[in-house]
Chains A and B, each alone.
Chain A
Amino acid sequence: MEAANVAGFGVILLVAIALAVKVLAAGTVSFANGFFYADSLSALVILLTAAVALVCSTYSIGYLRDDQQSGDMGDDPAGAEQIAQLRMFYSLTPLLVFSMLFIAVANNLGVMWAAMEATTLASIFLVTFYGKVTSLEAAWKYAIIGGVGLSMALFGTVVAYYAGHSLPGSDSLSGLNWSVLAQHAAQLDKTSMRLAFVLILLGYGTKAGLAPMHTWKPDAYSEAPVPTAAILSTALLNCALYCLIRFYILTSRCLGPEYPRHLLLLFGLLSMGISVPFVLAQRNLRRLLAYSTIDHAGIMTIALGLAGPLGSLGLMLHMTFHTIAKSTLFLSAGNVYQHFRTDLFAKMKGGVMRAMPLTGVVLFMAMLAVIGMPPFSLFQSEFLILRAAFDGGHILTGVLFILFGTGIFTGVLVHLSGMILGPVDDTPVAARRPWRDGSLLTLAAALVLIGFWVPAPLFELIRGAARVVSGQ
């Protein structure tokens, strides 16, 4: 099972790279009479998803083996129940990733929605993996809030379809095709698009974890197995933002950028603002990471709202960097959890660096990256977004951004350093974990590297995606 998984994800990564190359060469790629459509934006999202999935699958080998030994998955290692659990994990995770990839290549907005719903359904049982009372609660919240959110998104899709019903050929399958709608965006019905955008923002924003629809995130991320949480917080977030971006492009071409901007800035700042107190008063590691994800979802939404060349570039860069940094954070948090068997800061008493030096260093680095400390890459993308804000005259947005960002910075720094850096004594060093540490090191290397040098093709892809968003 494990080998098949890793091999499968390896193949997917290769396909993703091939797609990216093709898109870089040809601009856009489309198959099956326009059913599948990929431009730089899709290619970037697919690439990021595939990369994260591969790393997480190598990580999960070691992670799940440890779980089997430690009894988290039931008392009898290699018993039938555990095998069934493992099978479930190794079949749902590819399903989840496949749905996410489908989201990015589906041209038809309705099919895109169906794939997003499929990701929710696939991940529900992943959240209940450990079968604890709290896992059920988290899965239930996730299912219900996600279900309502996606219903709103479906409604928005229906209204968007209606907005395009006066276009030629709208009765056929292509009437909901994004490429068709984007071309004729100026002729879409304006009132309908207004309503549609609000519904889409509420709907896909729920999946992205924007406030006030964010309440499922801390629960789901702290209860799911760590590789799943890593995928959810990076790849799925990217896909939800991808859907939002597609609709944003339609709306801004139809109604002009001001209308969506107000809404996006509102929700983005709200998300950032709501995470501040929860980060400052947090006691649980993975919930802290969840609120940090909510914060970054807010940042990316703000970037989308600001749009323009600077904003779009900042958005795409941030998406890329955040994916790498956040997955590193989650995977190292997984290491910490499996060693200390708890998520609470108070119980860890600053022992991470002593007990697990490698993980401690990586965790510290990733933490600095996520809170936007130079010279890590997220600093550059956040700076770009701030510049876009001040350049466009959105002073209040910029000021609030800095304010909230400082709050998050403080909170995360205090909590995580308290957890990682503690006085040296003779705590036993944790055993070696080849699979987990290996995956972690790869990501850490990527994180450090990308702070200084983005490979040219990747940067071209990011630029291309930014151009798609800003409409040039």
Chain B
Amino acid sequence: MLMSPFLDMQLGDRIVTLMAALVLVLQIAMVAQRWIVIHIRIFAAQSFFLAMIAATIAWFNHAPHIYIAAGLTVAVKVILVPILFERLVERMEIREEIEPIINVPISLVIAGGLTLVGYVVAESFYRPEEPGLGHNALAVAISLFLIGFFNMINRRKALTQVLALLTLENGLFLAAISLTYGMPLIVELGVFFDVLVAAMVLGILIYRIRETFESMDVSRLRRLRG
């Protein structure tokens, strides 16, 4: 793709914008999705595109430490976490569909609205005099954050709530990349490690919920009140 020393910022901006758009589409697809396994794969695909965005930004801005962040994303979010969750799904033999709390067409409209909100918020960060990629990416990042949050509230099954939380974190990663070209490496390491451990912990928790409640439907967790 970028083998030639073609350092045209325009092209880089276009590529980043394109991939950011794909990421956004995947996030919206997650709102409409019903099958749990597809959710996991959408998350993996989304993380992959995020890693590509990070790599593109690293290339065009000569910032090698972002390559490490991109590599970590691939390792943790594209490979490890989806494998973890797919194994969990196999063990729990989930074949049920997920019924969101708000029906799909209205959820989609809400997701569209949240995308708009993300754009409006990102506008205030846009400094035309600062050259660089990522104005679009920041808008997409904030939209990912908001739509992920909405997804968490909208979903009933525990596993999809956790996946929505992880897409929220994806949005944060994208925001960090586009605002500040990533955070200092040690922070990135810490964040990724946390994501991995969180995925494992939540996976175990989900498994135990499933065993105890015979279902992952979190609306059944209502015994503690007051």
Contact = CB atoms under 8 A, between A and B. Distances in A.
Query: Are A and B subunits of one complex?
Result: yes
Interface of A: 108, 110-111, 113-114, 117-118, 121, 124-125, 128, 131, 133-134, 136-141, 143-144, 147-148, 151, 154-155, 157-159, 161-162, 165, 170, 172-173, 175-176, 191-192, 195, 218-219, 222-223, 278, 281-284, 287
Contact of B169 (A110, A118, A124, A151): A151
A151 B146 CA distance: 11
B212 A158 contact: no
Contacts of B205: 124, 128, 136, 139-140, 143
A185 B168 CA distance: 29
Contact of A278 (B190, B194, B226): B226
B212 to A, nearest CB: 6
B91 interface: no
Contacts of B124: 191
Contact of B161 (A113, A118, A144, A192): A144
Given A113-B191, A157-B183, A195-B121, 19 more contacts: A108-B184, A110-B183, A110-B184, A113-B187, A118-B194, A140-B158, A143-B202, A144-B161, A148-B149, A148-B165, A148-B168, A151-B169, A158-B176, A158-B183, A161-B183, A176-B184, A192-B125, A219-B224, A282-B226
16 contacts: A113-B190, A114-B193, A117-B194, A124-B201, A133-B212, A134-B223, A143-B205, A148-B149, A148-B165, A175-B184, A176-B184, A191-B124, A192-B125, A218-B226, A222-B224, A281-B226
B197 A121 contact: yes
Given A111-B187, A161-B180, A287 B226 contact: yes
Contact of A173 (B152, B162, B176, B184): B184
B175 A143 contact: no
B190 to A, nearest CB: 3
Contacts of B158: 140
Contacts of B14: none
Interface string B16-33: 000000000000000000
Contacts, number: 125
B87 interface: no
B198 A147 contact: yes
A420 B46 CA distance: 57
Contacts of B201: 121, 124-125, 143
A interface majority secondary structure: helix
A111 B205 CA distance: 26
Interface in B186-213: 186-187, 190-191, 193-194, 197-198, 201-202, 205, 208-209, 212-213
Contacts of B179: 158-159, 161-162, 165
Contact of B213 (A133, A161, A191, A192): A133
B197 to A, nearest CB: 5
B48 interface: no
B104 interface: no
Contacts of A133: 212-213, 223
A28 B157 CA distance: 49
B218 interface: yes
Contacts of A118: 194, 197
A133 B179 CA distance: 43
